[in-house]
Amino acid sequence: MSHVGSLAGLVVGWIVSTIAVWIALKIYPGKQKNESLAGAAVTALVGALVYWFFHSVFRIPLISGLLALVVWLYALRKLQGVGWLGAAALAFLIWLINGIFSLFLPTIL
């Protein structure tokens, strides 16, 4: 894949994740700190960087996944001003929405 194709894939993935985060923030009850589209974009970028870092540094899938999850939940807590359960609920909603998107996006793109 060319560098342009990789960059385009990265940008499209970030946009899709931003929309998933934004929808999850709108569904989750209460008023989060960064419920705006810009706040969702920052949250999606932080999540992508966390997973990229842990999967790059720790080559053992289970360990890297668990460490990334804990750091991602912590980041959600700080970015959105929710507790641990709220962060877990948001992470689940984001995962679910991204899963739904993945059913349709390959056919659209």
Let me know: does 86 contact 8? Beta carbons within 8 Å: no
Let me know: does 76 contact 87? Beta carbons within 8 Å: yes
Task: Tell me the residue range of the domain where 10 lies.
Answer: 3-108
> DSSP secondary structure string, 35-79?
-SHHHHHHHHHHHHHHHHHHHHH---HHHHHHHHHHHHHHHHHHH
What domain count does the chain have? 1
- The whole-number average pLDDT for the span 12-27 is 91
Question: Which pLDDT tens digit goes with each residue over 40-84?
Answer: 999 999 998 888 888 888 878 888 889 999 999 999 999 999 999
The pLDDT of residue 33 is 73
- Name the band, by pLDDT with cuts 50, 70 and 90, for residue 99: very high
pTM for this structure? 0.83
Backbone angles phi, psi at 28, to 5 degrees: -65, 130
